[in-house]
Each structure stands twice: as C-alpha cells, then as structure tokens.
Structure 1
Amino acid sequence: MPVSLARLFLAAVLLGSLISSALAADVATKPNFVFINIDDLGYADIEPFGSEYNRTPNLNAMAEEGMKLTCFYAAPVCSPSRASLMTGSYPKRCLTIPHVLFPIYAQGLDPDEVTIAELMKEQGYATGIIGKWHLGDQPEYLPTKQGFDYYYGLPYSNDMGPAEDGVKSNYGAPLPKVKGQGQPPLPLMRNETVLKRVLAKDQTELVKNYTDEAVKFIRDNQEKPFFLYLPHSAVHFPLYPGDAFRGKNSHGLYSDWVEEVDWSVGQVLQTLKDLGLDDRTLVIFTSDNGGSLHHGAVNKPLRAGKGTTFEGGMRVPTIARWPGKIPAGTSSDEVVGMIDVLPTLVKLAGGTVPTDRTLDGGDIGPILAGAKDAKSPHDAYYFYRGLNLEAVRSGPWKLRLKEGELYNLKEDISETKNVAADNADVVERLQKLADEMDGDLGLTKVGPGCRKLGMVKDPQPLIGYDGKIRPGFEPQK
C-alpha cells in the first residue's frame, strides 16, 4: 500500500475509533429508567396519597425525595393501560378490544406497533420486563418480540388459570368450584421458556422473585443505560402476600401485599444507591388502573374504582424520583398519564418518537423538572372504557357524555355535584370535543384513527389443559 494511502487508512481508523469512543461515552451518560407498575392499586392505598393503615415507608421516602403526580391517568382495566404505556397512544388507538386480553386469545398488541422498549433499544439501552405482561400470550406478542431483551414473569393476570391451582381464591381460602373446562394453567416464564405451572405457593413468592430479578437486572446492566419495566402482579386478586408479610397488617391480606410492594420498591431504590446509579436514574411508581373496591382497595376521595371512567377508575397514585433532576418534596396536579411516558422517556434518552403514526402522549419533562410555567400537554383528555368514549376533560371540567353530567374537578374531585345546568357553555364545548373525536377513534365503533389489532391463526395455550408445555417453550434439559 502506498504511504499516502496507508496514512489515510490509519487516519480513518483513528477517526472511527474516536467517534466510536465518543458514542460510547454518550451512551454511558444516558439516564436509566425504572418504571414500577402495580396492579389494581387504589389511589389512597399508600401513605403519600392518604392511606390511613397501610405502612409504606419506602414510598414515603420516594415522595419526599421526588414528585407526586396527583392527576396521572391510566385506563379502567389492565390490558388497555399497558398498551398505552407501550405505545404512547390512547388504548383504543393501539388495542381495539372491549375489555382485556385472556389466555389463548388470537388478539394482542400488534407486532407492528413501535414500543417504548424498541425505541430504547435504538438508543443503546438494555431493556427488561419483570412481571405481568398482559398484551397477548401467543409467541408473536410476547415481550421478547416487542423490544425487550429480557423477560421474567406472567403473560397475563395472576387470576387467569384453573381454580384447583388456587388462582381463583385468596391465600388460605377454600378452592371454588368452577363448571366447565375453565382456563389453562398459569405459566411463569423466562424469555420464551415456560419455567413452571404457577400454584398457590408460587403466588406467595411472586413479589420476592420479581424483586430479586429486578435487582439482578440492574446489577447486570449497571455499565450501560437500561430501561427496566417492573409490572407487579400484586395487588391484583387473588391476594397472596409473601410469608414474611402475611398477617402483619390487621386490615388483612390486601394491606399485607401493599406493604410487600413497598418493600420491593425499597430494594430497588437501595440497589441504585449502592451501585452509584441513583443520580442518573429516573424511577416512576404508579398503578395500571384504579383500585378494585371489592378486593380491599381504597380510592378516596375519588369516586368509584376499577372498570369505570370515574376518577377512581383511572386516576392512579404516581410518584417520580430522580435526585438532582426532579425537585424533592414536590407535587403536580397537571393532567398527565400513561400515554405521556413513552414520549417523555424517549426524549430524555436522546431519541425521537415515531412520525409515521399518531401518538396521543406528550413530553412531561418540564413538569417533572419543576419548571415554573410547565403545563399539561393535553388541552383535552378522553376517557375510554373499551371502545366507548364515556367522558371528556378539559381544564378542570369533566363531562360524562351519556349522563350529561358536568363536574369541576378542581372544586369537586369526588364527582358528587353535577353543575351542567349552570355551565351550558362548558357542556357545549366539551360535547364538541367529543363529537370531533368521532372522526378519529370513534365514539363507540372502531374509528379511522385506530390502528390494526394483532391477530394470529390457531392460538394455543402455553401450558395445555393436560399440563404439557407448548412445543418450543419447554425448559432446556
């Protein structure tokens, strides 16, 4: 090789090395993200949001060191809420189902959806989900096909299985009699392997196992940026607090499990501190929907609970903590929600959101940073229950469409006083907002703005009714 070409070649190699080093350094300084999502936790089930009898010292500390988001909206039930988190879109836009997904459903979150995990991977992040998925249990829908490097947990709710396995009754309760075939066994998975059939004893170990896995994921990925999604199966029925927590709270199993979740949060936060990752990690704690009153949740002062579009069904207790970035001991009542997590975290990671599809969420980074004039990215917020638009909010005003009831949430957070008669102009304005949505997502039917739903042929259970694991998902010998 001529000397001049050799020098050019060497210069190119050195330049490439410098660029590579610069990129590596840039990746190394990106923030980490831990998103903790509790199942069916009520608005007033933790002390920072007014619990009178659940002891949550770790969440108390998290609130003291971070920000409470007192008007954070999810969805009325599990699958739609998780679809919003993954896509930054209203549930109906990305998962057009009337309720939730069940085992062996042909439907699921379409693989063509661009998830928060996929966007994080583009920015050099390690991505992991530990806990409940609930966006489809067929191979095409599993987390490892939706941008996650690592998965450990249940593909759907901890009550979806045969009654004889204890998944239809709380700890220690008699097993109910169920007519017909029922649901297939509940699988515990690692990546695309079914580890075991979940029985009652396994339910009592879920929080501890999830926590141990989360701590291990953080330790294993401490040298690079990571996105950890930790969706607990607790405190969803059936109630199975671990041995170390069961019976510790006089208010029963539900409170025991809330307190075990608080312990789990403490373990995650302590791990970040021990590894020196505290100051570069944003941790968000929330719930996938309002609490289930029937199983012991408390949503006060909100009206109703899980499964409804009243505040108690969709407004969830949320805390964000990031030392040095989020002002300690603060609170925001701006309208934000699950749909805002993707655009906010992706921007913080240095990425950009997709431009080839509609996202309904916005960047709430300025709110989290405590910017003086930071406002909600939502001039209007839409409350869908399944395929039906049931309410619209704008500013403090919330209009329930079918009932024609108007509430001023700033003055009446409990939705007890219908002020429609005294505010006809507000009713007309919010009704117009609803009517405009008919041309996008639709009011009751699937509108033109809804994206396609994932669909597979011949869905099969991960564990058959005969107890055999689906071929291809067996543990390696």
Structure 2
Amino acid sequence: MKTKQSLLKLLLCLVLVIISCKPSNKKDNTKSTAKKDKKPNIVIVFLDDSGFADFSPFAKSDVPTPNVQKLANEGTIFTNFHVPQAICSASRSALLTGCYPGRTKVFGAHGPNARGLETTFPTMGEVFKEAGYKTAIFGKWHCGDQPETRPHARGFDESCGLMYSNDMWKHHPEAPEYWGQFPIKFWKNGEVIIEDVGFDEQKNLTKWYTEHAVDFINRNNKNPFLLYVPHSMPHVPIFTSKAFEGKSGKGVYGDVIMELDWSVGQITKALKKNGLEENTIVIFTSDNGPWIAYGNHAGKTPFREAKATSFEGGTRSACIIKYPKKLKANNKSDKLFVSIDLLPTLCSLTEVHLPKRDIDGKNVWGLISGKPEAKNPHEYYAFSTGKHFESVMSGDGKWKLHLDHNYRTLVEPGNDGAAGKYKNLEMPLSLFNMEQDAYETTNVIEENPEISNILETFAKAHKLKFYND
C-alpha cells in the first residue's frame, strides 16, 4: 500500500514538472508593461533672448525653421506664455525653482563668480533626480558660479556649457577691460575643459550642446529623464558652426536661428529613434524677449519694448509644448501662464513630489491641456525688472497694471554686434485691457477704477511679501 502511494506521489510530481516546463502560448507583456509604466521624460529647450517672432509658427519669417514648425504641428502653440522677469539669471532661476525673483532674490544677470541661486531653493534637477530621474543640463547655466551653486551640485547628473552669458568675455563691445579679467570657461561635469573660450569655441556652442543632448537621450532610453537645454544663442555675441555660416542668406542672426532650429530637429529625431516620442514632454521657449539694442544681431517681437522691461516685449515668450499622450496636436492657445508654473505642472504630470518649501507656481495643466472648465489658479502674476517690482496681471490674463516705474526704450539700434543707445522714460500708474490691447498702447485706468483698485491691492500685498526688506 505504501509502495503504491509513493508511486502515485512520484507520478504527480512528474506531471507537475512537465506542466511547468511546457512553453506558454501567453505573450510576455513584461517589456510592454515596463514601457507603459515608465514615467514621462521631460525635455526643455530654453533659448536666450529669442524674439517672439523669430520662428515661423509665431510669425511669417524669411528664415526657414521647419523643425520648430513640425514641433508646433505635433503639439500646442502658446501665445500668452510669460517669464516673471525678462533678464537672464532671474528668468532661469524662476523656471528651475517655480519661485518669483522676489522670493529667491535672484535678480538681473549675474556675472562670473557670483553666488547666484541659494541652495535652500531646490532646482528642477534636484526635484526630479530625487524621484529617480536621470538629469542633464547642456547649455548656459547662469544660476551661480561657485562650487555649491553650479549645475553639477544642483541636481544635474551630467552637464556641459558656460556658467554665465557668452558676452561676459574679453571681447565685450562696451567693457572689454572689465570682462577681460574673467576668462569665460567651458565646463563639463563639474570640470573646466576649456580655460578661455574664444571665437572658435563660440561658433560650436549650439552644436556641442545639441550633440551632448542627443547622446544623453541615446544612453538613457530605458530611464525616465529630465533634459534641460538652455542654449547660449541667440544672445549676443552670435555665432554659428561652419555648417550654418551664410546658410539663411539673411545675415548671421538668420544663420543662428537656422542652427537652433536644426538643434530642435536633432533632439526630436533622437526621441523618435529611441521610441520615446509618445512618452516625452517637450517644451520649447525663451528666457525673455530680444535684446533689441543689437539691431541686426537681435530678434523681433510685435509687442511693446523688449528684454529687461516688464512690458510684453520683454516677458512674453513664444512657447510650444508637445506631449502626444495627453496634449492636442496642431493646436493653439492664448491662455495665460508663467514659467513659475512649469515645475508644479510637470511634477503633477509625472507624479513627482514638489519641494517641501513654499513655491509660487501652481499646476496649470487644465489650462495647458485646454479643459473647457479650467481656470487659472492664480489671482495675479507679478513682473519685475532687476530689483524693481513693476507690474501685475490678473490671473485670467485680461488686465495688466503697471505701477509707477522707470524703463528703458531704444533710441538707436546697433549694427553687426555693436550696442545701440537707450534712453530712460517714466511709466505712470497705468491699466491695460490685454484682451483688446496686447500691445499696451492705451491706458484705461480712469474708465476702470474698480479693476485698478483690485490689482493695486494685489500689488501692495506682493510688494509687502517679497520687497519689504
């Protein structure tokens, strides 16, 4: 009896072994599930001093920009995107932290060896790296030039580029002796690899940033990543690689725009090649409006004034966002939002935790994605120039109030790399209906005292909170 039981047990074991070894007809979905569950990648292309009208999706242009146009065709164009301050360091710090310049105290454009953004304010790199993202910046940093404030110490696994603007060198058109004290260096992953950037290196900046970006995508196609490409161009002095010299037939600035368009194409092609296109959020914009003092070496904007003012020509930047999974293609939006909103919006989309400290931006995905019921969560947005708080705009984008402030306006543009001349003017307390007058031409404060009072109340509260020291 015991022998029979033993034989039965042995036969049962053999059957189980055979069944377990038999090939399954079920498909192995491990790979597809992993791909499906992978968090979205993020690519931010952040130009320097690009004009709102530099690229064909936003204006008719004599310079062909097919790659940016393709990005627009596949994504959504935003015509009412702003930065809170139209100057380099302040704009970049706002993007990376989700905070107003008044909170971080990063104003204007910082020079060599500057402290920059304090480490108490987490950057986008730190936020996403902590969440398991691979992170990289290839381009102009301009948020601090000390060991603990450079990009490799602020959450970016990989980096290359300049620590500040490319005009802060010995060939500066107005102050070469001063800037000549600080050789402009090219960094890579926390180490200086070019001690003194010259003309040849300037010509290759766009190319180098792009090559590093493509290589990073190729090597990280299995990992979620944040890729930040803040180009040095078209900030003066402007240069292109040999492949683009004279290519536009419209001068050096046209050549620069064509190379930047090429860069966008290389990055988007790398995403597609690696099968990442559907699961990547691509954002294309500029840190502020054009530096019109440089004439034919500057971009164009249809709006009032330009860089380093709180008028629309300074703070309003062309913007395209592509996210095939969740965003309409070939779409256009005039909804208002500001660069401080990008960090919280991206964190929401990727289910990444926001920094523990207070930030000023809010999740505006409802506006970006075009939900009919979506409303801007901000009562107002604030704009400044340097340390001067100058204007507020209602969250719905309809009204803009300029406080009393001085501003610069161009008198005579420069030519071929030489700076032009400005003069200072005074801006009185003024209210503009932005839906009817986006060019800020007609002060309607007397006809709308209630609106003016509401915005003045917001302005007083903002000033008390951030500018009371």
TM-score of the superposition, structure 1-length normalised?
A: 0.82
Alignment match, 1:152? 160
SS at match of 1:35: strand
Equivalent residue number for residue 303 of structure 1: 304
Name the residue aligned to 2:90: 80
Q: How many residues align?
A: 410
Match in the other structure for 2:315? 314
Residue-by-residue CA offset, 1:26-75 (whole Å, 9 max, x unaligned): 99510000000000001111111114222211111111110111111112
1:111 shift after superposition: 1.4
Closer/same/farther in 2, CA of residues 190 and 374 from structure 1, 3 Å limit:
same
Query: How far is 1:373 from its partner?
Result: 2.0
| 1:27/1:112 CA distance change after superposition, 3 Å | farther
2:113 partner amino acid: I
The normalised TM-score by structure 2 is 0.84
Secondary structure in 2 matching 1:41: coil
Contact 1:28 1:224 in 2 (8 A): no
Shift of residue 339, structure 1, vs aligned partner? 0.2
Which of residues 130, 133, 140 is equivalent to 2:138?
130
Question: For 1:182-193, what aligned pairs fall within 5 Å after superposition?
Answer: 182-193=180-191
Partner of 1:16: none
> Could you tell me how far apart the structure 2 residues matched to 1:348 and 1:324 are?
11
Matched, 1:282 2:307: no
Equivalent residue for 1:420, pick from 435, 445, 453: 445
Counterpart-to-counterpart distance in 1, 2:178 and 2:325: 56
Which position in structure 1 is the counterpart of 2:415?
none
Counterpart in 2 of 1:239? 238
Map residues 398-409 of structure 1 onto 2, 5 A cutoff: 398-402=400-404, 403-409=428-434
Give the Cα separation in 1 of the matches to 2:329 and 2:134: 28
**Inter-partner Cα distance in structure 1 for 2:362 and 2:325:** 23
In 1: Cα distance, 2:350 partner to 2:61 partner: 38
Q: CA deviation at 1:437?
A: 1.4
Distance 1:150 1:158, change over 3 A: same
Matched, 1:229 2:228: yes
CA-atom RMSD, angstroms? 1.9
Deviation at 1:180, TM superposition (A): 5.4
The structural deviation recorded for 1:161 is 1.5
Supply the AA of the counterpart residue of 1:37.
F
Q: Which runs of 5+ in 2 are unaligned?
A: 1-29, 405-427
What CA distance in whole angstroms lies between the structure 1 residues aligned with 2:279 and 2:209?
Answer: 23
Tell me which structure has the larger Cα radius of gyration.
2
Where does 1:9-28 land on structure 2 (aligned, <5 Å)? 25=34
Q: Pick one of 92, 95, 102 that aligns with 2:102.
A: 92
Judging changes above 3 Å, is the alpha-carbon distance between structure 1 residues 112 and 177 closer, same or farther for their aligned structure 2 residues? closer
The answer as to whether partners of 2:289 and 2:301 remain within 8 angstroms in 1 is: no
Identity of aligned residues (%): 40
Q: What is the DSSP-based 3-state SS (H/G/I as helix, E as strand, rest coil) of the residue aligned with 1:61?
A: helix
Q: Say if 2:64 is the partner of 1:55.
A: yes
1:260-287 deviation digits (Å, cap 9, x = unpaired): 1000000000111111100000000000
For residues 161-200 of structure 1, what are the alpha-carbon distances to aligned partners after superposition, in whole Å with 9 as ceiling and x for unaligned? 212xxxx26xxxxxx7844573311111111110112110
Identify unmatched segments of 5+ residues in structure 1.
1-20, 170-175, 447-477
Aligned to 2:330: 329
Written as runs of structure 1 = structure 2, the 5 A alignment for 1:331-370 is 331-355=332-356, 357-370=357-370
Q: Which amino acid aligns with 1:345?
A: L
Q: Is 1:142–2:144 an aligned residue pair?
A: no
Aligned equivalent of 2:76: 67
Q: CA deviation at 1:158?
A: 0.7
2:22 corresponding residue in structure 1: none
Q: Which has the higher contact order (CA 8 A, sep 6+)?
A: 1
Please report how far the alpha carbon of residue 375 of structure 1 lies from its aligned counterpart in structure 2 after TM superposition: 2.6
- In the alignment, which residue of structure 1 is the partner of 2:399? 397
Distance 2:179 2:255 in 1: 32
Which stretch has the larger CA shift, 393-402 or 210-219?
Answer: 393-402
CA distance in 1, matches of 2:179, 2:132: 46
Counterpart amino acid of residue 368 in structure 1: I
More displaced, 135-144 or 376-385? 376-385
Q: 2:169, 2:179 within 8 Å by CA — same for their partners in 1?
A: no
Post-superposition Cα deviations, 1:67-125, rounded to whole Å, max 9, x if no partner, equal 1111111121000011111111112211343x2110022x2111121111111112210
Look up the equivalent residue of 1:211 and give its one-letter code.
T
CA distance in structure 1 between the aligned counterparts of 2:106 and 2:230, rounded to whole angstroms: 22
1:92 & 1:246 partners in 2: Cα distance? 41
1:399/1:412 CA distance change after superposition, 3 Å = same
Q: CA deviation digits over 1:273-311, x for unaligned, max 9?
A: 111100000000000011111234444321110000000
| SS state at 1:68 partner | strand
2:78–2:333 CA contact under 8 A, matched in 1: yes
